[in-house]
A = this chain, B = another copy of it.
Amino acid sequence: MVVRDDHARVLVLAGGSGTRLWPLSTDARPKPFLPLASDHTLLEDTFARARRVVEAEHVYFSARDTHAPLLRKTLPAVPEENLILEPERRNTAPAIGLSAAVIGAHDPGAVLAVLPSDQAVKDEEAFTAGLRFAVEAALAEEAFVTLGILPTRPETGYGYLETAEGEGGPVRKVVRFVEKPTREKAEEFLSSGCFLWNAGIFVFRVSVLFAEMERQCPDILHAVQEAARERRKGNMEGFRSAFALARKISIDYAVMENARAVKTVPCSCGWSDLGSWDAVWEYRAGSGASNVLRGQAEIGGGERSLVFASGRPVKVLGLDDVIVVDSEDGVLVTRRDASDLLRESVEADMKRRAG
């Protein structure tokens, strides 16, 4: 049962690149287009998630124009007017601002729920309940309402939302955004009960976003509003040059961290950002902490490993805690906890190609 309000919209962020999931993720096929959490792509999983909260016709997609063919192929049922394509990658503040301007022009009362599509959720029921609640809260209040993931471990790879002490209700006030903490801090956060993971999922009235942008980053607001106007007129040249004036900055830095009213709905839904191969293994292996296999993959005499084959047989013998991924673009073999080495290696390749 979807939210009973004609103003509710979901905006799926279908962009992003990713050096951390080489050799599957590439510039031509970024993470949302990979089947990492299920046998469907993350984008399809996210679309299904969105349709549990609003009608399909109210799900919009923010994506790079170069990925439009892949997006149309992946989700053929989505109408063309629901694709909000960027002529270049300028980070999330311009992308979300443009989408809000496009959608807000049709419906100034619209409420947007932003859903990144490079994440996974195990307990869809709990997620849906949390997101519906956040949408209802954003319809009722002049605030950004984020989904705050209840932490299950002292994670140092995520940002956190700090809530006021003593608040225990289903909608809590966010007093501070906290960057990725040290291990010590992360353990404090976990035991305090006041900290939630920032999943980048949040809901707002477009009027609330515009007011905060006017206050905090009017340059970006004016650029994306001008771009949306040119787009409506069908002037794609004007659209491109207006959008090019929007500063490259994330929505967290540009708006959220200093917004006057930010609330959060705590949610415990088996969420993962799938931010590394180790995270993909952990998400797929679950509490059994077993081996994860795809395709003609074989593990002999080994535990706690992920092996993705593609086309050819892959044998992994006598090794524990490894990631092995075979694709047309290359073969990765790594210790599960060595994601930093992968990032360094892929970045070195990119520099070599550029230089």
Contacts and interface: CB of A to CB of B under 8 A. Distances in A.
A18 B160 CA distance: 55
Contact of A333 (B23, B324, B328): B324
B315 A326 contact: no
A90 interface: no
A314 B341 contact: no
A355 interface: no
A337 interface: yes
Contact of A318 (B296, B301, B328, B337): B337
A313 to B, nearest CB: 4
Nearest to A314: B331
| Interface size bracket, A side | 20 to 34
A23 B324 CA distance: 16
Contacts of A341: 300-301, 317-318
A335 B313 contact: no
Given A324-B333, A331-B324, A338-B318, A345 B300 contact: yes
A184 interface: no
Contacts of A317: 332-335, 338, 341-342, 345
Contacts of A301: 338, 341
A291 to B, nearest CB: 13
Interface of A: 22-23, 296, 298, 300-301, 309, 312-319, 322, 324, 326, 328-335, 337-338, 341-342, 344-345, 349
